Amino acid sequence: MRHKAVMLTGNAAAAWGARLARAEYIPAYPITPQTEIIETLTKWIQEGEMDAKLVQLESEHSMLTAAGTASLTGVRVFTATSSQGLLYGFEMLYNIAGWRAPLVLVNVSRALAAPISLEPDHNDVLAARDSGFIQLHAETCQEVLDFILLAYRVAEDRRVMLPAIVNMDGFYLSFTREPVKIREQDLVDEFLPHYSAVNPFRASRHVAKGSAVVGGHIYSYFKYHMHEALRRAHDVFIEAARSFSRKFGELYHPVSGYMLDDAEYVLVMSNSFATLGKHVVKLMRQRGVPAGLLKISMIRPFPAEEIANSLKGRKAVAVFDQNISLGLGGIIYNEVLGALYGCPKRPEIVLSVIGGVGGKWLSVEEMEKIFDELKRLERSGITKPRPLFLFRRDELTHIERVLKLAGTIEVSHHE
Amino acid sequence: MSETRFKTLRDTPLEDYLTPGSPLCAGCGGQLGLRIFHKVLGRNVVFVNAAGCLTLMFVYPYAPLRSSWMYTAFASAPAGAQGIRDALDILLAKHRIEPDEDLKVVVVTGDGAAYDIGLQATSGAIQRGLDFYYFVYDNEAYGNTGFQWSSATPVGSSTTTTPSSRFSPAGSLAEKKDLFEIWRAHKPPYVATVSVAHAVDMMRKIERSMGMRGPKLFIALAPCPTGWGFDPSEAIRIAKLAVETGVWPLKEAINGETRHTYIPRALRPVEEYLKTQARFAHLFKPKKQQEIINMIQERVNEYWLRVAEAEGITIKLATEVK
Ligand code: SF4
């Protein structure tokens, strides 16, 4: 392709995505680790490099409201938030989807309070999984940029007309520089035609949006329609991804494999830790273990069929969740199980792994442990494994040490 | 200020944008206020609504207004107005729409949204200088959910969450939040209180504000037969009494400078207003709560004494009924 890669943080890549998509309206509100995105956009707008209006609102709730109504009025809208901000504006996610406003929201994942933290996990973005937003989760800074372009194309398609979230991990992507190809503007313009809203607010034609419904059947009618539209987003994405690859080279898929073809032990992952997962798969291969990785990039619509097809016939599968649905376990694990049920040659062993919660660092050893565990389960014939919670002895020791330092007299823990 | 289309009620525009068949209560002051507001603004309006009684005017697939409507959420109608206004401005600047496709953006909410849950969003929109109208129909409680206390509820009113009981015979004892002053402190170009019983005053105010850019804010006292407890035919008489007793002052503030647009030179006793509504009935029966009535009267007196002093006029106060 024409451009060489430059080193960009995930946040800068997100800003480039919005700029290349020619987003015209950016309602904003600062929150770590997202803020760099809106600062970058502000700078470009101030310097005349980007033709857009950025308005700082007084909360994420207002920010999302303004984003939705502007999109309905007929401008391309970009916005970004994280964590507490996403939850503060949460009711508007359902509204924006219900309004069929095809805007793009970047969420920079960050664990939810309490305890308050800055580091990433996916409880924030997965809380929005039932809202009607398309969800694309990025592994790399390049994917952040490219997924924003794809997200607009799919969201604004008349067969879909739903908003999209592009997710990236705080810190591991947001503040990490990686080589990123900034796509050529003329090609992006070809890939992403002008947005035209459905029945926007105009003096010549009056419309009512967001009207109340009375009667569950009318509510159901709308929700079924939205569900169908979101299901259609899957095929529209495949179409868009093909057109994207013709212009830019990379071909994206809702799910993609790494050393998967002949793999017997498969690790299912998403987001930035998938890179570490791939590294460990390579190490396992060097040791003669037929390991592979399945990365899920599209969380909504959930690509259940592709997941089932990719996992059928494998000896053992581990689903890695960087989230915890308290009282249930890993969210993606349960969704993958649902996808596998009814699949003729489904794997007998499906292990739930929970790790990286609150941005907890994952060592190679912890990741290797997952494969050890899969092999152990296979040998012992246990088909209903207990979840594996990744946590190291030295991490516990550290907690004990700081508790002592803080003057806590007794430290007790359960093995 | 002398130039006005509206000299008497006969100058009320004939065009009506509210069609018959709206599902709100008969005699609803809020809806009447909206109707007058709409007449003056004309047809090219998009209303941005927050949860409240008027939300139920638009029940899919019916639309009783000949204008556009956007229901947002309880807390963020002004932010919804921001998105529409900004988008229209972007489209106009880029010549993607003709100037005659432009719309006036009007937030319309009840007091729950305006005084309580949406105050932050309103403060933000005013402070950003958003070019919009805000019309509050203030029925002094959460009417749509069955009349619960809001921060617009006046002293002495019973609501379902501040009932008159053995423990609190007076009903609500909290002062009504002074939204006019809160808004005025933001120094928007225009803030006014209005009454559906003073339609000419109201129309003039809307007209006056229409020449201004920025936030143009209106609080209408909205008699609510269902919540306040009176016969729908009494709505206008009660609205009038609120003004004549001095309970509801009619005023405006242009760039922060307040001026009363109607001064009742001889206040009628607040008791005359209170007696008309079931929400104040406990102040009279089974035992008259004179202390509370006097307290309400005193607040009104204090207010108008300050006005009289500032204006250099005399206002005859209502004598306290003993
Ligand atoms: S409850 Fe009151 S404010 Fe609500 S529609 Fe009925 S009369 Fe109007």
Percent above pLDDT 70 for chain B: 98
The verdict on A92 touching B (C-beta cutoff 8 Å) is yes
What range does the domain containing B259 cover?
A: 16-263
Band of residue B320 on the pLDDT scale cut at 50, 70, 90: low
* B101-126 pLDDT tens trace: 999 999 999 999 999 999 999 999 99
Ligand 1 midpoint to CA B28 (Å) = 5
- Shortest CB distance from A210 goes to which of B71, B124, B127? B71
Q: How far apart are CA A150 and CA A110, in angstroms?
A: 23
Whose Cα sits closest to atom 8 in ligand 1? B28
Mean of the per-residue pLDDT values for chain B? 96
Number of domains in chain B: 1
Any domain includes A71: yes
Tell me, yes or no, whether A64 and A177 share the same domain: yes
Tell me, yes or no, whether A98 and A139 share the same domain: yes
pLDDT of residue B22: 84
Q: How far apart are CA A137 and CA A398, in angstroms?
A: 32
Q: How far apart are CA A307 and CA A295, in angstroms?
A: 9
pLDDT exceeds 90 at position B55: yes
What range does the domain containing A351 cover?
A: 255-406
Give the domain CATH number at B232: 3.40.50.970
The bridge status of strand A134-137 relative to strand A298-300 is antiparallel
The verdict on A223 touching B (C-beta cutoff 8 Å) is no
Q: How far apart are CA B319 and CA B304, in angstroms?
A: 13
Q: Is B247 left (phi over 0), alpha (psi -120 to 50) or beta?
A: alpha
> Rounded to 10 degrees, what is the CA torsion of A234, A354, A148, A18?
160
What is the average per-residue pLDDT within B210-238? 97
Boundary (domain end) residue, out of A220, A248, A276? A248
Q: Which of A103, A106, A204, A121 is nearest to A169 (CA)?
A: A121
Number of domains in chain A: 2
Any domain includes B268: no
pLDDT of residue B230: 98
Any domain includes A31: yes
pLDDT of residue A411: 55
Best probe residue, ligand 1, of B224, B228, B233, B279 (max atoms within 8 Å of C-beta): B224
Residues in chain A closer than 8 A to B66 (CB atoms):
206
Contact across the interface for A53 and B86, Cβ inside 8 Å: yes
ipTM: 0.96
Any domain includes A90: yes
Which of B24, B43, B46, B145 is the best substitution to test chain A (most A C-beta atoms within 10 A)?
A: B46
Q: Where does ligand 1 bind, in terms of residues with CB under 6 Å?
A: B 24-25, 28, 30, 53, 139, 143-144, 222, 224-227
Give the domain CATH number at A335: 3.40.50.920
Write the CB contacts of A124 (distance below 8 Å, at least 6 apart in sequence): A82, A83, A86, A87, A107, A109, A110, A111, A112
pLDDT of residue B23: 86
pLDDT exceeds 90 at position B93: yes
Q: How far apart are CA A391 and CA A40, in angstroms?
A: 37
Tell me, yes or no, whether A89 and A140 share the same domain: yes
Tell me, yes or no, whether A234 and A261 share the same domain: no
Q: How open is the CA angle A61-A66-A71, to the nearest 5 degrees?
A: 130
pLDDT exceeds 50 at position B272: yes
Q: Which of A353, A237, A354 is nearest to A306 (CA)?
A: A237
Tell me, yes or no, whether A150 and A229 share the same domain: yes
Contact across the interface for A209 and B70, Cβ inside 8 Å: yes
Question: Number of helices and strands (H, E) in chain B?
Answer: 9, 8
**CA-CA distances (angstroms) from residue A16 to A72, A77, A119, A149, B239?**
24, 14, 23, 10, 57
Contact A244, A252 (CB under 8 A): yes
* A113-142 pLDDT tens trace: 999 999 999 999 999 999 999 999 999 999
Tell me, yes or no, whether A52 and A193 share the same domain: yes
pLDDT of residue A412: 59
Q: Which of A127, A118, A122, A72 is nearest to A94 (CA)?
A: A127
- Give the amino acid at B311: E
Any domain includes A206: no
Tell me, yes or no, whether A172 and A282 share the same domain: no
Ligand 1 midpoint to CA B120 (Å) = 25
DSSP summary character for residue B280: G
The bridge status of strand B132-138 relative to strand B104-110 is parallel
State the DSSP string of B55-108: GGG-BTT---BSSEEEE--SS-HHHHHHHHHHHHHHHHHTTSS-GGG--EEEEE
Tell me, yes or no, whether A298 and A236 share the same domain: no
Which of B47, B65, B90 is the best substitution to test chain A (most A C-beta atoms within 10 A)?
A: B90
- State pTM to two decimals: 0.97
Q: How far apart are CA A287 and CA A372, in angstroms?
A: 12
Tell me, yes or no, whether A277 and A395 share the same domain: yes
pLDDT exceeds 50 at position B321: no
Tell me, yes or no, whether A19 and A107 share the same domain: yes
Q: How far apart are CA A376 and CA A265, in angstroms?
A: 12
Q: Which residues of B73-108 are buried (b: 16+ CB within 10 A; e: fewer)?
A: bbbbbbbbbbbbbbbbbbbeeeeebeeebbbbbbbb
Band of residue B319 on the pLDDT scale cut at 50, 70, 90: confident
Tell me, yes or no, whether A227 and A320 share the same domain: no
The verdict on A61 touching B (C-beta cutoff 8 Å) is yes
Give the tokens for residue A282: 């390579």
Give the domain CATH number at A231: 3.40.50.970
pLDDT of residue A214: 94
Give the tokens for residue B102: 């432009």
pLDDT of residue B266: 96
Any domain includes B321: no
Contact across the interface for A74 and B86, Cβ inside 8 Å: no
One pLDDT digit (tens) per residue for chain A, 415 residues: 456 899 999 999 999 999 999 999 999 999 999 999 999 999 999 999 999 999 999 999 999 999 999 999 999 999 999 999 999 999 999 999 999 999 999 999 999 999 999 999 999 999 999 999 999 999 999 999 999 999 999 999 999 999 999 999 999 999 999 999 999 999 999 999 999 999 999 999 999 999 999 999 999 999 999 999 999 999 999 999 999 999 999 999 999 999 999 999 999 999 999 999 999 999 999 999 999 999 999 999 999 999 999 999 999 999 999 999 999 999 999 999 999 999 999 999 999 999 999 999 999 999 999 999 999 999 999 989 999 999 999 999 999 999 999 997 565 555 4
Any domain includes A10: yes
Q: How far apart are CA B213 and CA B223, in angstroms?
A: 30
DSSP summary character for residue A317: E
pLDDT of residue A408: 73
Tell me, yes or no, whether A78 and A51 share the same domain: yes
Contact B250, B194 (CB under 8 A): yes
Rg, C-alpha atoms of chain B: 20
Contact B75, A64 (CB under 8 A): no
Band of residue B158 on the pLDDT scale cut at 50, 70, 90: very high
- Shortest CB distance from B69 goes to which of A92, A208, A213? A208
